[in-house]
């Protein structure tokens, strides 16, 4: 049987377009067939998780059943009119929701890089969706639970492998309605543009940076041992590759969602134009950083303030920044460089806030003009690229891996 | 209708682009893109790049323009002043080598690389360096073959196969490589060829379509990104040479340069190779090659493909068999007896079929500064090669070549034959 990486080659796109055509015609004439959507979702999931990768398909099915049951039980508990809404029930539910992901992430760290049998492509993105649903159920903003809709939310195939991370309520609103013809045509127009911009990003730019240039600079950097100009080259080339590869993929996911009449949120907004680190996280992998903001950072701040752990609000914010980013680091994987990457960004946020406070206080004496603005962009860009060098794991190869 | 207009605005450009692209790729016209400049030929001739080897247009043009194909492998990257490309340039020889091959290219890769230039090889001369190291028990490495694999050459080959023993064997070998089955339809066609059938009509149509597509791609892109690094090296190395060619003088110079470049070790291995490849593992490698055996390998049949192709095209070929650095062999325990056995077997395969131009250097590995490192010719070794190559390419072709091919060289029996049993093989085949 055929087996594809999502958006991996032209054949995938051609199949995708053929499958979407009836759906698009339907939407143009004001009809949405959930049956047809389910069928093509199933086919494309089969193409991704079937064939030689069938065991990941089994893992996906087990995971899905487990999470639907879990969220279903929690919803039942929480949505009872007389629900006691105990904190520990909530905490246990979240832990149970994260448990499969934790196993998948920790397995390679403790068993010499072997991957867990319960893992599958996209498990962390599904986990984000599950945890968020549980949290919003706890908050009482999600008041109804439909197992089938929830399953379709999790399995929405354009975004299943690497996001963007949509929100349950937002998704359901789109999925349950049919856009007006005018609006849908605008979506199609945008969607097609995104897909083609994605082609430029992923198949041309990411190819140039990642496949053509990166091996060359990496080789030069390894030959040079230690710090070298080539290492600087690795830093910038890797950063460009990372951005264009992921942004290209995200554009595909968003573009295809639009063609299906679902406005999946954007993931990138010209991140290298950021003026500071905070600005950067509002533009880079946005659905992930907003998820962390809403479901980790904000809740952490709330928890710390409620229990009056720190007197100063500044300390509270700073500690929460670092913990937030550290958790993000751990989420990327249990290696030193992901964790250092997380800490690096945590402290960068702390320094950034301190500077913004200082600037506010001394507004009169600090110049602010076009030049300082460009300087800020330049500085942020380099700090970010350096963090990506850590993230790439290349330093690990350079400094610690025994050369053959 | 408003919706139709809007949809046309959205999808019209895509449809138009797709039509134009298909037209450009499938049209028989080359839009004037099939011209390769002299500079590109010059760069490509020494670039050793996989793209040049895999491509078609540049090789064809360069060989049409009088470049002589020099088939081989990693030795070509040893650009010292006595390298064939350097000597040919410095002394304005009436031939220029077009180097084909790099690290990891073996007979099978070379056979397919020949497919796109069959016409250019016909009744022409060629040089072919046979590395004993190719003839390991497992034959060519699958990943190395994959790195140099060109679907274009496969379609070229499929379009001209005639169900001979050569074709069937080549198809079988290709199918054993992951790259050979990377395209399902081509793999099915190969399976038919291997079994002695023609590809089906629809496979044939697919092959023709693929050939056109890949050919156009080759015309559009093959010139992109050919580095001039090696050409600059060659030009730089010519500066070390005296204005006039004098063998004795050059031989002395080669010895002098060799001596100056091998100061870091006692094996007469170039300082650079020593520093980057050997120093670290030196102690580990002592006595590590006592079990190496180059006398039994599928490579012997892969090499037969190359001979077969040369014979089909009536190519006049000079074969070069390089030696192994004696000091290195002594250190690693490589058996010289085994090397001589290999030599006997490969020479039998050559001479018994009429390939008698052989520059056999296999016994000269102990001469000073003959090798640049462990197994690669350098300085005086290159000069010894030149002693054969220059006259060979100067004299007009012998006219009638008498090749007498024997399909038994495709057999497992030959691949695994102990060189002591050559007589018996000869009698039974």
Distance of alpha carbon A39 from alpha carbon A37, whole angstroms: 5
Nearest residue in chain B measured CA to CA from A188: B10
Residue for token pair 């403790």: A110
The answer to whether position B213 is within a domain reads no
Which of A236, A259, A282 finishes a domain? A259
Interchain proximity B11–A189, CB inside 8 Å: no
For residue B405, give the DSSP letter.
-
How many domains in chain B? 1
Q: Calculate the CA B358 to chain-centre distance.
A: 17
Q: Enumerate the β-bridge partners of residue B125.
A: B316
CA distance A18 to chain B (A): 14
Q: Which residues of B touch A403 (CB under 8 A)?
A: 280
B101 within domain boundaries? yes
Angle A284-A164-A108 (CA atoms, 0-180°, nearest 5)?
90
Active site annotation includes A146: no
Q: How far is B102 from chain A (nearest CA, A)?
A: 18
pLDDT, position A71: 95
Is the pTM higher than 0.80?
no
Name the one residue in this structure whose structure tokens are 């070998």. B173
**Residue A85 and residue A195 share a domain:** no
A293 located within any domain: yes
The CA R_g of chain A, rounded to the nearest whole Å, is: 23
Say if B204 falls within a structural domain. no
Token pair 């995200």: residue: A250
Residue B139 domain-assigned (yes or no): yes
Residues A228 and A306 in one domain: no
**Looking at residue A404, what is its pLDDT?**
38
How many whole angstroms separate alpha carbon A21 and alpha carbon B207? 30
* Residues A155, A25 share a domain: yes
- CA atoms within 13 Å, Cβ hemisphere of A257: 26
pLDDT of residue A138: 93
Indicate whether A19 and A119 sit together in one domain: yes
Q: Could you tell me the maximum CA-CA distance found in chain B, to the nearest angstrom?
A: 87
∠ CA(B309), CA(B312), CA(B314), 5° rounding?
A: 105
Kindly name the residue from A285, A332, A345, A362 that is annotated as catalytic: A332
Distance of residue B285 Cα from the nearest chain A Cα, in angstroms = 13
Distance, in Å, from the CA atom of A47 to the CA atom of A16, rounded to the nearest integer, reads: 11
How far is Cα A70 from Cα A86, in angstroms, rounded to an integer?
Answer: 16
Nearest to A195 by CA among A251, A266, A249: A251
pLDDT, position B63: 95
Which of A175, A201, A216 terminates a domain? The answer is A175
> Same domain for A155 and A14?
yes
The strands making up B67-71's β-sheet, listed across from edge to edge, are B96-100, B67-71, B125-129, B316-321, B358-360
Provide the pLDDT for residue B395: 83
**What is the 8-class DSSP label of residue A120?**
-
- Cβ contacts of residue B343 below 8 Å, gap of 6+? B132, B321, B360, B362
Pairing relationship of beta strands B316-321 and B358-360 according to DSSP bridges = parallel
- By Cβ distance, the residue of B10, B225, B280 closest to A188 is B10
pLDDT at residue B29 greater than cutoff 90: no
Within-domain flag for B327: yes
For tokens 């030193």, the residue is A336
- The residue from A122, A147, A175 where one domain ends is A175
Same domain membership, residue A320 and residue A185: no
d(CA B408, CA B134): 20
Distance from CA of A34 to the nearest CA of B (A): 24
pLDDT tens readout for residues B65-121:
999 999 999 999 999 999 999 999 999 999 999 999 999 999 999 999 999 999 999
Identify all chain A residues contacting B11, using CB atoms and an 8 Å cutoff: 192
CA dist B176 and B167 (Å) reads 14
- Which DSSP letter does residue A313 get? H
The DSSP call for residue B130 is: P
Considering the domain architecture, whether residues A161 and A187 belong to the same structural domain is answered as no
Q: How far is CA B307 from the centre of its chain?
A: 13
User: What residues of B are in contact with residue A224 (Cβ under 8 Å)?
Assistant: none
Structure tokens given for A335: 């290696």
CA distance B191 to B396: 42
Output the CA angle A336-A340-A342, nearest 5 degrees.
120
The pLDDT value recorded for residue B350 is 97
Closest to A324 (Cα-Cα) out of A296, A298, A351, A352? A296
Domain count, chain A: 3
DSSP conformation class of B395: S
Interchain pair A188, B3: CB under 8 A:
no
Q: Is the peptide bond before A164 cis (omega within 30 degrees of 0)?
A: yes
Those residues of chain A that have pLDDT short of 50 are: 402-404
| Cβ neighbours of A17 in B, within 8 Å | none
Neighbour tally for A249: CB within 10 Å: 22
Domain membership flag for residue B13 = no
Q: Output the six-digit token pair for B276.
A: 């980057």
A192 and B10 in contact by Cβ < 8 A? yes
Domain harbouring B363, CATH code: 3.40.50.1110
Classified as helix, coil or strand, B125 is strand
Looking at the fold, whether A161 and A230 belong to one and the same domain comes out as: no
> Are A242 and A310 found together in one domain?
no
A308 and A193 inside one domain: no
Structural domain span for residue A222: 181-259
Beta carbons of B369 and B254 less than 8 angstroms apart: yes
- DSSP per-residue codes, B200-223: PHHHHHHHHHHHHHHHHHHHHHTT
Give percent of chain B above pLDDT 90. 83
Burial pattern B368-380, b for ≥16 Cβ within 10 A else e, equals ebbbbbbbbbbbb
Residue of chain A whose Cα is closest to the Cα of B2: A182
Regarding whether A185 and A169 lie in a shared domain, the answer is no
Tell me if B190 is assigned to some domain: no
Shared-domain flag, residues A240 and A302? no
A vs B: CB pairs below 8 A: 18
pLDDT digits 0-9 by tens, B128-174: 999 999 999 999 999 889 889 999 999 999 999 999 999 999 999 99
The length of chain A is 404
Element spanning B345, H or E: helix B336-351
The closest CB to that of A189, out of B3, B10, B225, belongs to B10
Q: A189 contacts in B (CB within 8 Å)?
A: 6, 9-10
A215 close to A222: Cβ distance less than 8 angstroms:
no
User: Is residue A269 within 8 Å of A301, Cβ to Cβ?
Assistant: no
Q: Which domain holds residue B302?
A: 54-147+225-428
Q: What is the pLDDT of residues B247-279, one digit of tens each?
A: 999 999 999 999 999 999 999 999 999 998 888
Cα torsion at A332, A334, A340, A343 (round to 10°)?
A: 70
User: Is A323 part of any domain?
Assistant: yes
CA atoms within 13 A on the CB side of A78: 25
Q: How far apart are CA B104 and CA B116, in angstroms?
A: 20
- The pLDDT assigned to B181 comes to 86
Distance in angstroms (rounded) separating the CA atoms of residues B48 and B318:
20
Number of other CB atoms surrounding residue B412 within 10 Å: 9
Whether B152 maps to a domain, the answer reads no
pLDDT at A1: 56
CA distance B50 to A15: 32
| Number of residues written out for chain B | 429
Between B348 and A365, name the one with better pLDDT.
B348
Complex ipTM: 0.81
């Amino acid at each position: 049987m055929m087996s594809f990486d999502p958006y991996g080659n032209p054949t995938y796109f051609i199949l995708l377009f053929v499958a979407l055509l009836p759906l698009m015609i339907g939407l143009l004439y004001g009809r949405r067939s959930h049956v047809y959507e389910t069928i093509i979702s199933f086919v494309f999931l089969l193409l991704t998780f079937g064939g030689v990768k069938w065991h990941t398909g089994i893992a996906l099915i087990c995971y899905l059943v487990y999470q639907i049951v879990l969220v279903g039980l929690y919803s039942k508990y929480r949505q009872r009119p007389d629900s006691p809404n105990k904190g520990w029930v909530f905490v246990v539910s979240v832990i149970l929701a994260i448990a499969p992901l934790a196993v998948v992430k920790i397995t390679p760290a403790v068993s010499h890089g072997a991957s867990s049998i319960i893992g599958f492509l996209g498990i962390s993105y599904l986990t984000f969706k599950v945890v968020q649903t549980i949290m919003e159920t706890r908050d009482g903003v999600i008041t109804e639970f439909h197992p089938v809709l929830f399953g379709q939310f999790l399995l929405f195939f354009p975004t299943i492998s690497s996001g963007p991370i949509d929100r349950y309520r937002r998704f359901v609103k789109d999925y349950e309605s049919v856009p007006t013809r005018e609006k849908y045509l605008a979506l199609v127009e945008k969607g097609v543009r995104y897909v083609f911009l994605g082609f430029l990003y992923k198949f041309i730019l990411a190819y140039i940076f990642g496949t053509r240039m990166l091996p060359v600079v990496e080789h030069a950097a390894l030959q040079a041992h230690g710090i070298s100009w080539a290492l600087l080259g690795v830093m910038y080339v890797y950063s460009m590759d990372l951005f264009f590869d992921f942004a290209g993929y995200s554009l595909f996911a968003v573009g295809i969602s639009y063609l299906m009449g679902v406005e999946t949120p954007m993931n990138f907004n010209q991140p290298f134009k950021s003026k500071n680190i905070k600005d950067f996280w509002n533009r880079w992998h946005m659905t992930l950083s907003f998820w962390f903001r809403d479901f980790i950072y904000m809740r952490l701040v709330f928890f710390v303030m409620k229990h009056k752990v720190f007197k100063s609000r500044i300390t509270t914010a700073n500690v929460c920044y670092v913990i937030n980013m550290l958790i993000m680091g751990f989420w990327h994987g249990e290696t030193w460089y992901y964790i250092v990457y997380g800490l690096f960004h945590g402290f960068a946020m702390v320094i950034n806030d301190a500077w913004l406070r200082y600037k506010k206080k001394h507004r009169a004496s600090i110049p602010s003009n076009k030049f300082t603005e460009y300087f800020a962009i330049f500085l942020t860009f380099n700090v970010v690229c350096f963090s990506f060098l850590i993230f790439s794991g290349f330093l690990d190869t350079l400094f610690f891996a025994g050369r053959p | 209708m408003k919706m139709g207009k809007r949809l046309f605005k959205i999808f019209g450009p895509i449809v138009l682009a797709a039509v134009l692209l298909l037209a450009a790729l499938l049209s028989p016209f080359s839009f004037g893109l099939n011209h390769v400049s002299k500079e590109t030929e010059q760069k490509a001739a020494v670039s050793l790049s996989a793209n040049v080897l895999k491509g078609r247009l540049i090789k064809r043009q360069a060989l049409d323009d009088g470049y002589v194909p020099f088939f081989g492998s990693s030795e070509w990257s040893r650009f010292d002043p006595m390298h064939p490309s350097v000597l040919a340039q410095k002394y304005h020889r009436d031939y220029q080598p077009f180097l084909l091959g790099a690290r990891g290219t073996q007979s099978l890769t070379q056979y397919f690389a020949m497919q796109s230039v069959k016409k250019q090889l016909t009744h022409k001369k060629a040089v072919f360096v046979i590395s004993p190291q190719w003839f390991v028990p497992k034959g060519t490495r699958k990943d190395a073959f994959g790195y140099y694999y060109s679907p274009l050459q496969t379609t070229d080959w499929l379009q001209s196969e005639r169900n001979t023993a050569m074709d069937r064997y080549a198809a079988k070998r290709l199918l054993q490589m992951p790259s050979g089955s990377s395209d399902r339809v081509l793999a099915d066609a190969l399976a038919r060829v291997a079994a002695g059938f023609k590809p089906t009509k629809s496979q044939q149509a697919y092959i023709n379509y693929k050939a056109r597509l890949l050919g156009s791609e080759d015309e559009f892109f093959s010139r992109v990104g050919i580095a001039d690094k090696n050409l600059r090296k060659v030009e730089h190395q010519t500066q070390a040479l005296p204005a006039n060619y004098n063998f004795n003088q050059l031989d002395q110079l080669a010895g002098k340069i060799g001596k100056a470049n091998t100061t870091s070790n006692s094996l007469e291995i170039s300082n650079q190779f020593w520093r980057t490849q050997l120093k670290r593992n030196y102690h580990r490698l002592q006595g590590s090659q006592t079990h190496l055996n180059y006398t039994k390998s599928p490579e012997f049949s892969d090499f037969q493909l190359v001979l077969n192709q040369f014979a089909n095209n009536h190519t006049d070929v000079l074969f070069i068999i390089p030696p192994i650095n004696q000091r290195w062999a002594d250190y690693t325990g490589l058996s010289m007896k085994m090397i001589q056995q290999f030599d006997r077997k490969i020479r039998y395969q050559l001479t018994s079929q009429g390939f008698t131009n052989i520059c056999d250097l296999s016994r000269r590995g102990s001469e000073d500064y003959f090798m640049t490192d462990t197994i690669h010719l350098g300085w005086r070794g290159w000069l010894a090669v030149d002693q054969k190559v220059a006259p060979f390419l100067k004299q007009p072709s012998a006219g009638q070549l008498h090749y007498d091919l024997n399909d038994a060289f495709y057999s497992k029996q030959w691949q695994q034959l102990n060189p002591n049993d050559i007589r018996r093989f000869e009698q039974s085949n």
